[in-house]
Structure 1
Amino acid sequence: MTRDLFARRFTARLPADIPRDWLPSSPAIAALLNTYTVLVPANEAFYMRTINACLPRIADPALRATAIAFIHQEAEHGVAHKRYWRNLDRQGYRFRTFERWVDKLTFRAIERIAPLSLRVSMVSCVEHVNAYFAHEFLSQRILEGAHPEVRALVEWHFAEEIEHKRVSFDVMQAVTPSYAVRFAGLAMTLPLFYGLMTFGMMRFLLQDKRLFRWSIWRQFLDHLGPRNHMLLRTLKHMIAYARPSFHPSQLDDAALAEAVIDRYSSRAQNWLEPANRGRAAAKQPLAA
């Protein structure tokens, strides 16, 4: 049985001396996750606005309440990752112009021109990708050896992505059950997501003067191929989403997420706490 969905606040201190090489085993993966951190606040804000706009169209009270809890979880993710931006600034990275342009030219532009049905389809697809990222990083223990606070930030976020992975899909099905709309969201989201992540990763590697080092790319390609076979599993995961019979619950990895949440909520770590706008505040939607 999965636990109720509610928002948690990430309370771990992010010390000022976190090094650029916070994941010594793979600088390319660190650059990829730095990009993820930069994109999260605008991403999550887009998800929140989209799901909030869907609330009046959701007839099922239970799904509506869960969707509101999802909104509050995503809000906490944006807050926590934006805290880490201060560390990226201290490390000397330049990323804020990139983030502003991505927000303006992707999320804000999509909101102006795309109907709500397509926007919620895109949110459902990218949440599927987020849940896949989460499953891979947690099950493969890719972040072992990472700086503890950065690892905690990413793993907590990934655990909650698994925890709420079915919500946006269920909202999409309630608002626009059309398979054609779901497939259109898939076709638009995948190149956009992976294109932005790849471009951002390359920008971070360029600033580290590592973009043209074969050893860095060999490590990254090992993740995709011989060592972790991540590329093949990624393709299978995306193909699964395209099946008409697909539902996120078909991959049961709730225990994986719960173990992470329990670890960072324990007395030994005590890096998570219920957010003020968790269970109680989840009874009310955000203002439109």
Structure 2
Amino acid sequence: MSVLMPTRSFRAPLQPDIPRNWLPANPALSALLDMYTVIVPSNEAFYMRTLARCLGRIDDPDLAAAGRAFIHQEAEHGVAHKRFWSVLDAHGYRYRRLERIIDVLTFRLTERIAPLSLRMSMVSCIEHINAFMAHEFLRQGILADAHPEVRAMQEWHFAEEIEHKSVSFDVLRAVSPGYGMRLAGWVPTTVLFYTLMTLGMLFFLAQDGGLWRASTWRGLWRHLGPEHGMARRTLKHLFAYLKPSFHPSQLDDRALAEAVIARYSSPQGGWLAPATRGSGRAPDLAA
């Protein structure tokens, strides 16, 4: 288990003049990732609170250190995505009430009713989903034509999801090694994530007026089918997680992550910088 996972801050300005459809060739995918941005801060805070409660149960000092590094990286993701909310606000999107409802009825309610081992299993599953999304988006260059700042934010996030993709799975194995608990987290997490993302995409498209445009659905079809093959690839990755022998490291895509980090840390695209102490501390970590 490597613990060399630096905490980086995303420093692009994310000005309000970023266009509504920042991925012009595919407004449905733009709306889908807008919804992703809306749920990231509360979602990441849920990861962080869950992992923090597990650290005291971990005997391996390297894994515990990796868990702390994971928490710091996730905190910075939440900070960056929440900054992007000002862009959504500038375009008149109504989403903040939806975000609060999701936080209360999904993450806070889960913390009230689910045991820690199940919550950790859910975190492990959603991190697998984040990691395979990252793999496919980076490998296929899906965001190549996106607005440069939004592309950088999403690709930096994806790169770090690859960088720390084994941590939550290894923490789950440390605190609850049984296969049954892995399966128990996979079922609600998969249903919740894809339900929220689909409804959120429709929610944003309805506000854009794109819900009734044939071009919107052609773009989504290309993403799911002939162009990116994400429907088939998503099913393949989801069911790979259920193999008893599965481990995230079996898909070695570190080079993808390293290339992204190098690109956005360079003098030409230098929107990444070492995080200052406490800059990414998420709210309610100890709540």
TM-score, normalised with respect to structure 2: 0.95
What is residue 116 of structure 1 aligned with on the other side? 116
- Distance in 1, Cα, partners of 2:173 & 2:29: 34
Given that residues 117 and 181 in structure 1 are in contact (C-alpha distance below 8 angstroms), is that contact kept between their aligned partners in structure 2?
A: yes
Given that residues 22 and 147 in structure 1 are in contact (C-alpha distance below 8 angstroms), is that contact kept between their aligned partners in structure 2?
A: yes
What is residue 18 of structure 1 aligned with on the other side? 18
User: SS of 1:249's equivalent?
Assistant: helix
Given that residues 41 and 82 in structure 1 are in contact (C-alpha distance below 8 angstroms), is that contact kept between their aligned partners in structure 2?
A: yes
- Distance in 2, Cα, partners of 1:3 & 1:184: 28
**Which amino acid is 1:198 matched to?**
T
- Distance in 1, Cα, partners of 2:272 & 2:3: 16
Whether 1:236 and 2:199 are equivalent positions in the alignment is: no
Using the TM superposition, name which of 211-220 and 52-61 deviates more. 211-220
Given that residues 6 and 70 in structure 1 are in contact (C-alpha distance below 8 angstroms), is that contact kept between their aligned partners in structure 2?
A: no
For structure 2, list consecutive stretches of 5 or more residues without a partner in the other structure: none
- Distance in 2, Cα, partners of 1:14 & 1:287: 29
Using the TM superposition, name which of 205-214 and 269-278 deviates more. 269-278
- Distance in 1, Cα, partners of 2:14 & 2:211: 27
- Distance in 1, Cα, partners of 2:226 & 2:261: 30
**Which amino acid is 2:247 matched to?**
H
Whether 1:97 and 2:117 are equivalent positions in the alignment is: no
What is residue 179 of structure 1 aligned with on the other side? 179
For structure 1, list consecutive stretches of 5 or more residues without a partner in the other structure: none
Given that residues 72 and 277 in structure 1 are in contact (C-alpha distance below 8 angstroms), is that contact kept between their aligned partners in structure 2?
A: no
Matching of residues 170-249 of structure 1 within 5 Å: 170-249=170-249
User: SS of 1:183's equivalent?
Assistant: helix
Deviations 1:138-178 (A, max 9, x none): 11111111111111110000000000000000000000001
Deviations 1:243-270 (A, max 9, x none): 0000000000000000000000011111
- Distance in 1, Cα, partners of 2:12 & 2:229: 32
TM-score, normalised with respect to structure 1: 0.95
Deviations 1:79-123 (A, max 9, x none): 000000001000111100100000000000000000000000000
Using the TM superposition, name which of 43-52 and 208-217 deviates more. 208-217
- Distance in 2, Cα, partners of 1:215 & 1:270: 35
Whether 1:166 and 2:166 are equivalent positions in the alignment is: yes
- Distance in 1, Cα, partners of 2:286 & 2:203: 36
Given that residues 7 and 277 in structure 1 are in contact (C-alpha distance below 8 angstroms), is that contact kept between their aligned partners in structure 2?
A: no
**Which amino acid is 1:39 matched to?**
I
Deviations 1:41-66 (A, max 9, x none): 00000000000000000000000001
Given that residues 160 and 257 in structure 1 are in contact (C-alpha distance below 8 angstroms), is that contact kept between their aligned partners in structure 2?
A: yes
Percent of aligned pairs sharing the same letter: 65
- Distance in 1, Cα, partners of 2:270 & 2:228: 31
Deviations 1:173-224 (A, max 9, x none): 0000010010010011001000000000000000011112222111101111
Using the TM superposition, name which of 74-83 and 223-232 deviates more. 223-232
Q: Quote how far apart the aligned CAs of 1:3 are.
A: 8.2
Given that residues 264 and 272 in structure 2 are in contact (C-alpha distance below 8 angstroms), is that contact kept between their aligned partners in structure 1?
A: yes
**Which amino acid is 1:234 matched to?**
T
- Distance in 1, Cα, partners of 2:16 & 2:187: 40
**Which amino acid is 2:47 matched to?**
Y
What is residue 37 of structure 1 aligned with on the other side? 37
Given that residues 49 and 286 in structure 2 are in contact (C-alpha distance below 8 angstroms), is that contact kept between their aligned partners in structure 1?
A: no
After superposing on structure 2, the runs of 4+ consecutive aligned residues of structure 1 that deviate more than 2 Å are: none
Given that residues 57 and 175 in structure 1 are in contact (C-alpha distance below 8 angstroms), is that contact kept between their aligned partners in structure 2?
A: yes
Q: Quote how far apart the aligned CAs of 1:2 are.
A: 7.4
